[in-house]
């Protein structure tokens, strides 16, 4: 079997010698032996291991996560490996939801402020057009991901009669923000059909064991749907998707 020195391995993979030594200290790679002069030797399989480590790091996994995944791989435990990767994916979705919420609210703010301008070419108008007016492209993949998340977490919102349940909410303007560990979704106004739909969703989702039961509050501004817990981000994405549906249908 061909063996590589640490220098050859570094050249083949683009990983520095110091990083290779650090990976060895962390137990991520192991030399297969040493030369007569005491230099470390590695098999070609070590290159594949390094590619896996590099890709996992680019995806945001810590070295401890990578070590755990490699341990599961060595033991042929694909289910545990999948669970680790899925946990990281859900964490990214939570972070992404925060950004989507900020983009949504900033776009609404810019749109509102823009109405105060006297001319169509004012600075705020141009900024609003850049932030809110461009085409974000086909988000079919994003919608498929949302469906997968709802199904994976066991949310009742993934049920087959969802369309009938949410019909009064499609295309409704919303405001959404994060308050500690909760997402609050405001639907302005006092439409009884909207209230009925929100209460129905809250009641249905109370049966779901993957998140805390959502609740509904009525304020002077409208109805506030409150979802708490680790999976509350799903509701934020869900309502953002509902708001955009009407626009997509008109396009």
Q: Render pLDDT for 197-245 as a digit per residue (tens, 0 to 9).
A: 999 888 888 877 666 789 999 998 899 999 998 888 888 888 988 888 7
Provide the CATH number for the domain formed by 3-61 in this structure.
1.10.1660.10
Q: How far apart are CA 97 and CA 26, in angstroms?
A: 34
* Sheet of 175-179, strands arranged across: 175-179, 182-188, 222-228, 215-218
Predicted pLDDT at 141: 56
Q: How far apart are CA 195 and CA 122, in angstroms?
A: 39
Q: How far apart are CA 192 and CA 186, in angstroms?
A: 15
Predicted pLDDT at 25: 93
Predicted pLDDT at 105: 87
- Asked if 185 contacts 176 with a C-beta cutoff of 8 angstroms, the reply is yes
Predicted pLDDT at 133: 44
Predicted pLDDT at 135: 44
Q: How far apart are CA 32 and CA 13, in angstroms?
A: 17
Q: Which of the residues in the chain have pLDDT under 70?
A: 1, 114-161, 209-211, 246-251
Predicted pLDDT at 132: 44
pTM for the whole structure: 0.62
Predicted pLDDT at 106: 84
Residues of the chain with CATH 1.10.1660.10: 3-61
């Amino acid at each position: 079997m061909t063996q590589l020195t640490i220098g050859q391995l570094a050249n083949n993979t683009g990983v520095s010698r110091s990083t290779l030594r650090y990976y060895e200290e962390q137990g991520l790679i192991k030399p297969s032996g040493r030369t007569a002069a005491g230099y470390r030797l590695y098999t070609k399989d070590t290159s594949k291991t390094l590619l896996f480590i590099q890709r996992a790091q680019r995806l945001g996994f810590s070295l401890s996560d990578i070590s755990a995944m490699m341990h599961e791989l060595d033991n042929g435990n694909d289910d545990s490996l999948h669970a680790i990767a899925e946990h990281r994916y859900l964490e990214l979705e939570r972070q992404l939801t925060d950004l989507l919420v900020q983009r949504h609210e900033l776009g609404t703010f810019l749109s509102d402020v823009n109405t105060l301008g006297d001319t169509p070419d004012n600075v705020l108008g141009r900024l609003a057009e850049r932030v809110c007016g461009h085409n974000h492209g086909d988000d079919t993949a994003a919608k498929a991901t949302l469906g997968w998340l709802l199904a994976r977490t066991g949310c009742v919102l993934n049920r087959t009669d969802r369309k009938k349940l949410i019909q009064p909410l499609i295309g409704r303007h919303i405001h959404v923000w994060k308050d500690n560990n909760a997402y609050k979704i405001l639907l302005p106004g006092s439409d009884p059909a909207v209230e009925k739909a929100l209460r129905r969703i809250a009641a249905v989702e109370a049966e779901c064991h993957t998140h805390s039961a959502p609740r509904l509050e009525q304020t002077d501004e409208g109805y506030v749907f409150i979802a708490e817990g680790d999976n509350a981000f799903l509701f934020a994405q869900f309502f953002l998707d509902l708001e955009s549906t009407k626009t997509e249908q008109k396009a």
